[in-house]
Structure 1
Amino acid sequence: MSDFAQIWVDAWNRHDVEAVLAHFHDDVVFSSPVAGRVVPGSGGVVRGKAALREYWTSALAQLPDLHFDLVAVYRGVSTLVINYRNQRGQLVNEVLIFDGELVCEGHGTYLE
């Protein structure tokens, strides 16, 4: 799973939304406080791959310097937590829940 995390970070660092989305189910549910700011009326929850594409594409347009540095990877049962530092120096965790090989649920979590 640490290979997955590095592939995920590399795709984000290339700003390749399609490469990131390739790992997600069509009916994925994703939550993030950033989504709450970028997607009006979402309450921070994005449903479906098409909506996730729109959210991430909009967010990247606002963050041209986006860059992640992998810090640690935590594996659970059907769950992967990717701990990284973003371009602002903030520590972030991406919590990904898998159904088979694809992510069915994800949560962006930020240090308060």
Structure 2
Amino acid sequence: MDAREFTEAWVTAWNAHDLDALLSHFTEDVVFTSPVAAQLTGSAVIRGKDALRAYWSEGLRRIPDLRFEVVGVYSGVDTLVINYRNQKGGLVSEVLHFDGPLVREGHGTYLGDDDNPAGATA
């Protein structure tokens, strides 16, 4: 996996609000955690690609001006961290763990407290 190539595809898909392109990078049994997921769905843990699609669809519905600007990309062993600014200027890091070329686990992490992550709207 090329970190820069993946990140470019990831941010392009998010900024186009193209969930099919975005989800093509995730395993069917992906697990994703986020305090924003807890606000939108009632659970901080999203299990499976269909549930992830539903969560992100709701997020895009509620945040129609969603846009990300990548600040930094950090590579590890089977792990990628994408640090970005969201449409409100909030800093976010997405921590992605890979199984081969696909993401099997992801975590949205935000500056701020768990009750109101910076830039999150619900």
Q: TM-score range by the shorter chain?
A: over 0.9
Report the secondary structure of 1:71's partner residue: strand
CA distances 1:28-49 after superposition (whole Å, capped 9, x unpaired)? 0000011001112x2x100000
Which of 28, 32, 35 pairs up with 1:33? 35
Corresponding residue number in structure 2 for 1:19:
21
Corresponding residue number in structure 1 for 2:47:
47
Amino acid at match of 2:89: G
Amino acid at match of 1:110: Y
Structure 1 runs (4+) deviating above 4 angstroms are none
Q: What percentage of aligned pairs have identical amino acids?
A: 61
Corresponding residue number in structure 1 for 2:64:
64
- CA shift for structure 1 position 6: 1.2
- CA shift for structure 1 position 101: 0.3
Amino acid at match of 2:91: L
Report the secondary structure of 1:66's partner residue: coil
Amino acid at match of 2:60: L
Corresponding residue number in structure 2 for 1:102:
102
Q: How many pairs were matched up?
A: 110
Corresponding residue number in structure 2 for 1:74:
74
- CA shift for structure 1 position 18: 1.0
- CA shift for structure 1 position 74: 0.0
Inter-partner Cα distance in structure 1 for 2:11 and 2:84? 9
CA distances 1:14-64 after superposition (whole Å, capped 9, x unpaired)? 001111100000000000011001112x2x100000000000001100000
RMSD between superposed Cα atoms in Å:
0.5
